[in-house]
Amino acid sequence: MKFEAIKKETVILNPQKDMAERRIPSEIRIDPLTGRTARICHFMKLQWEKPDFNALVSGTEAWCPFCADKVQVVTPCFPKDLIPEGRLQKDDMLIFPNIAPYDSIGAVATFGARHYIPMTEFTPALMASAFGFALDFFRRIESTGHPESVYHIINWNYMPPAGSSLIHPHLQVFSTSTAPNLMRQELEASRHYLDSHGSCFWEDLVAAEIKTGERYLGKIGRTHWMTTFAPMGVAGDVLAVLEGARSTLDLNAQDLQDIAAGLAKVIAEYDKMGIYSFNMNFFTGTRTDEHFRFHLLFSPRTFFNQKLGTPDVGALRNLFNETLCMAYPEEINDMLKQGF
């Protein structure tokens, strides 16, 4: 397992120090699986100011389509040959078709009737229940023999900085025969790694991270938690890899509880930095993909300039697909490890 980094240095004359020479380090890190590069730069204190949530949320329930007084009226239903009852319901959680789908089988899964749930109030029980409900949907799709029942994916965009157009908490769940870009690259690279090395990349990665200890956070059940070597997010990412699980459909109730417990720990630590928004995705193979291991990626979302509302995605990321992180992942790991 190679963790490669290209170290760089910028020399400037600092106007705040009478034009004294200042040397600024940076790194270009190479993802050990895909070769994707990430830049470690723009070093700054990882601390942000939270907004006035009352002002942010106030009035949004009046037009929210996911609130209890509207959700059964304005949301669409599935065709009867797919979900005969039209929508799935579990207590006050609902799953219904995404009116702006990413794929043939796209759905929205609400966390319930509560319009706004602060980040730290997503309890392990609530998250495990929502993930379990999504798996119920995936298994229903699988039982129909639908040709899109190949990869079963959960996306979670929490709050507007992460791309959510609604305050009301929900998951985007979809089944697809077409893997999204990064997942497809990981699937292909994992197969190549198995063919070249005779072992599973994900098992080797976990072993290497445990050995170095620099980015490893801990183990919950069969779920290994770590910060990533080449992050996608400006405040780092957290990766969770499940032993022995190749596919979303391999997850059992205990796995979901363990995933939710780990997410709650990660959320609590990022909350201390002033982070209040994140993306979380499931990365999955099929049940026969021996080269792959199910994993999830958690990426906090924030701003380059909070006063202006400047998002944390600029031209470098949007057009070059080159990510940057504003601190060393090993230092972020030290901050998060307090919760593990």
Q: What is the pLDDT of residues 244-263, one digit of tens each?
A: 999 999 999 999 999 999 99
The residues, any chain, with a CB within 8 Å of residue 150's CB and separated by 6 or more, are: 175, 176, 177, 286
Within a domain: residue 45?
no
The whole-number pLDDT of residue 44 equals 80
Q: What is the tens place of the pLDDT at every residue in 94-127?
A: 999 999 998 999 999 999 999 999 999 999 999 9
Residue 307 predicted with pLDDT over 90: no
Within a domain: residue 223?
yes
Does residue 115 share a domain with residue 17? no
The residues, any chain, with a CB within 8 Å of residue 165's CB and separated by 6 or more, are: none
Mean residue pLDDT of the chain comes to 96
Q: What is the tens place of the pLDDT at every residue in 7-48?
A: 999 999 999 999 999 999 999 999 999 999 999 987 788 889
Does residue 153 share a domain with residue 8? no
Does residue 135 share a domain with residue 272? yes
Q: Which two three-digit tokens encode residue 169?
A: 């908490």
The whole-number pLDDT of residue 43 equals 76
Within a domain: residue 301?
yes
Q: Print the domain residue range for 24.
A: 4-40
Residue 305 predicted with pLDDT over 90: no
Q: Which two three-digit tokens encode residue 61?
A: 């329930």
Burial track 41-72 (b if 16+ CB lie within 10 A, e otherwise): beeeebeeeebeeeeebeeebeebebbeeebe
The whole-number pLDDT of residue 172 equals 97
Sign of torsion, CA 230 219 186 135? negative
CB neighbours of residue 106 within 10 Å:
18
Cα separation, 88 vs 97, whole angstroms: 10
Percent of the chain with pLDDT over 70: 100
Number of H helices and E strands in the chain, helices first, is: 8, 16
The whole-number pLDDT of residue 137 equals 98
Within a domain: residue 46?
no
Residue 314 predicted with pLDDT over 80: yes
Q: Mean pLDDT throughout 194-210?
A: 98
Within a domain: residue 176?
yes
Q: What is the pTM of this model?
A: 0.96
The whole-number pLDDT of residue 259 equals 98
Within a domain: residue 51?
no
The whole-number pLDDT of residue 329 equals 96
The whole-number pLDDT of residue 112 equals 97
The whole-number pLDDT of residue 142 equals 96
Tell me the chain's radius of gyration from C-alpha atoms.
21
Within a domain: residue 266?
yes
Does residue 96 share a domain with residue 9? no
**Greatest alpha-carbon span in the chain:** 74
CB neighbours of residue 40 within 10 Å:
23
Does residue 23 share a domain with residue 68? no
CA atoms within 13 A on the CB side of 12: 7
The whole-number pLDDT of residue 102 equals 87
Does residue 109 share a domain with residue 15? no
CB-CB contact of 51 with 64 (8 Å): no
Does residue 159 share a domain with residue 87? yes
How many domains, the chain? 2
Does residue 331 share a domain with residue 268? yes
Q: Residue 65: pLDDT band by 50, 70, 90 thresholds?
A: very high
What is the domain-level CATH number for residue 182? 3.30.428.10
Within a domain: residue 54?
no
Does residue 85 share a domain with residue 27? no
Does residue 136 share a domain with residue 12? no
Return left, alpha or beta for 119; rule: phi > 0 is left, psi -120 to 50 is alpha, else beta: alpha
Residue 174 predicted with pLDDT over 90: yes
Residue 147 predicted with pLDDT over 90: yes
Enter the DSSP assignment of 128. Answer: H
Burial track 250-281 (b if 16+ CB lie within 10 A, e otherwise): bbeeebbbbbbbbbbbbbebbbebebbbbbbb
Does residue 173 share a domain with residue 26? no
Q: What are phi and psi of 263, to 5 degrees?
A: -60, -40
The whole-number pLDDT of residue 332 equals 96
The whole-number pLDDT of residue 326 equals 93
Does residue 154 share a domain with residue 222? yes
